[in-house]
């Protein structure tokens, strides 16, 4: 384990202050809203502020998360990893410092298997990677338990352009708000929509990625490339500044929609089929291994492999349906119209 660093203690103290303030401010946040606000239906019309700024989400609803706007490859705020910060080591080497029960993000993109340990991403939240010659965005929001990957491309003047992303220091529905380097537009991590700025209304293309237990992944993916702790930043990788937040029911930041049918931080996998949303509990998939269901006349099959990878496909076409792995409160906050498997 590395020695303590100044950056770690500053960040840890900041987290404690933020938690204390927002627990006090949100003492009534457990009350369920009478009328859910639909992120989809209520925020599809692009509006404009008096200064000409376009938005889907009213900027007044976007809260400060505490840290300032993060740098990209620069130690400022919560710094996103740039390509020069990203190096990989073998599974064997990584096994020296990743505990068996740790969670990691894992993907197989164009035949290349890569792993991004959450012990690193909890300090950076964004990795601007390049896989098989393609710019890929790896994101993780600790507050929402959401590890999501996108193509790192935006559209400017009708042309696709590669860009890098950083943390804005802002949150909406307790979820990471990102910015792109080229236009400084704000993007929501969950769903990947541009919500404030020049590119408002665009949506990033999502890529399948899984949050798995290191023990399960390493046993059957021995040739994976694992993100190295040698990022160039001084952080206490292996020490999580959020403590027991992941198990407690309290939320540090308020959300616009809440539902108490299951624990707010129960892990779910959410999907969209023909504009219909549905969520499946991780516990159900661990127990049943495979679930067959029908959404809006589309038959789907969900399977969980021994390595923890969740595959969802359209039974008739064989096409993959990309899922999002979130805490229940986060998925519901953005999709209050969602159905929940096993609850009618």
pLDDT digits (tens), the chain, 344 positions:
443 444 544 454 445 444 444 433 343 334 333 455 555 555 569 999 999 999 999 999 999 999 999 999 999 999 999 999 999 999 999 999 999 999 999 999 999 999 999 999 999 999 999 999 999 999 999 999 999 999 999 999 999 999 999 999 999 999 999 999 999 999 999 999 999 999 999 999 999 999 999 999 999 999 999 999 999 999 999 999 999 999 999 999 999 999 999 999 999 999 999 999 999 999 999 999 999 999 999 999 999 999 999 999 999 999 999 999 999 999 999 999 999 999 96
Tell me, what's the pLDDT at 334?
97
Tell me, what's the pLDDT at 278?
98
**Which long-range contacts does 16-22 make (Cβ < 8 Å, 24+ apart)?**
17/66, 18/65, 18/66, 18/252, 19/245, 19/252, 22/252, 22/253, 22/254
Provide the 3-class DSSP secondary structure of residue 109: strand
126: nearest Cα among 173, 180, 200, 162: 180
The answer to whether residues 327 and 266 touch, using CB atoms and an 8 Å cutoff, is yes
At 233, list the tokens: 């930043």
d(CA 147, CA 138): 8
What confidence tens digit (pLDDT) does each residue in 189-222 have?
A: 999 999 999 999 999 999 999 999 999 999 999 9
What confidence tens digit (pLDDT) does each residue in 168-184 have?
A: 999 999 999 999 999 99
Tell me, what's the pLDDT at 298?
97
Tell me, what's the pLDDT at 43?
55
DSSP for 114-169, written as a single string? EEEEHHHHHHHSEEEEEETTEEEEEEEETTTTEEEEEE-EEEETTEEEE--EEEEE
Tell me, what's the pLDDT at 42?
52
Helices (H), the chain: 6-25, 39-42, 91-94, 118-124, 214-218, 282-288, 328-334
197: nearest Cα among 18, 328, 59: 59
The answer to whether residues 258 and 329 touch, using CB atoms and an 8 Å cutoff, is yes
Tell me, what's the pLDDT at 39?
53
279: nearest Cα among 257, 307, 302: 302
């Amino acid at each position: 384990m590395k020695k303590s660093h100044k950056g770690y203690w500053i960040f840890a103290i900041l987290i404690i202050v933020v938690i204390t303030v927002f627990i006090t401010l949100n003492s009534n946040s457990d009350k369920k809203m009478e009328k859910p606000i639909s992120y989809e239906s209520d925020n599809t019309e692009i509006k404009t502020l008096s200064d000409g700024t376009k938005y889907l989400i009213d900027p007044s609803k976007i809260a400060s998360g505490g840290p300032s706007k993060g740098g990209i490859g620069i130690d400022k705020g919560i710094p996103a990893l740039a390509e020069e910060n990203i190096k990989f080591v073998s599974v064997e080497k990584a096994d020296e410092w990743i505990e068996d029960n740790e969670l990691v993000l894992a993907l197989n993109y164009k035949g290349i298997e890569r792993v991004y340990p959450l012990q690193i991403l909890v300090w950076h939240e964004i990795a601007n990677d390049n896989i098989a010659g393609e710019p890929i965005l790896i994101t993780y929001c600790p507050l929402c338990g959401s590890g999501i990957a996108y193509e790192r491309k935006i559209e400017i003047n009708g042309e696709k352009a590669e860009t890098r992303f950083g943390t804005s220091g802002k949150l909406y529905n307790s979820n990471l708000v990102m910015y792109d380097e080229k236009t400084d537009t704000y993007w929501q991590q969950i769903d990947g929509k541009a919500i404030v700025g020049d590119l408002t209304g665009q949506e990033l293309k999502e890529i399948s990625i899984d949050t798995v237990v290191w023990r399960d992944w390493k046993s059957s993916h021995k040739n994976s490339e694992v993100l190295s702790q040698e990022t160039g930043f001084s952080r206490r990788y292996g020490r999580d500044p959020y403590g027991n937040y992941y198990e407690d029911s309290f939320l540090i930041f308020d959300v616009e929609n809440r539902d108490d049918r299951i624990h707010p931080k129960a892990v779910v996998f959410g999907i969209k089929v023909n504009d219909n949303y549905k969520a499946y509990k991780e516990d159900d998939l661990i127990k049943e291994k495979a679930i067959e269901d029908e959404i809006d006349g589309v038959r789907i099959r969900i399977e969980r492999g021994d390595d923890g990878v969740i595959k969802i496909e359209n039974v008739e076409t064989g096409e993959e349906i990309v899922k999002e792995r979130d805490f229940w409160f986060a998925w519901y906050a953005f999709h209050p119209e969602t159905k929940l498997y096993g609850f009618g």
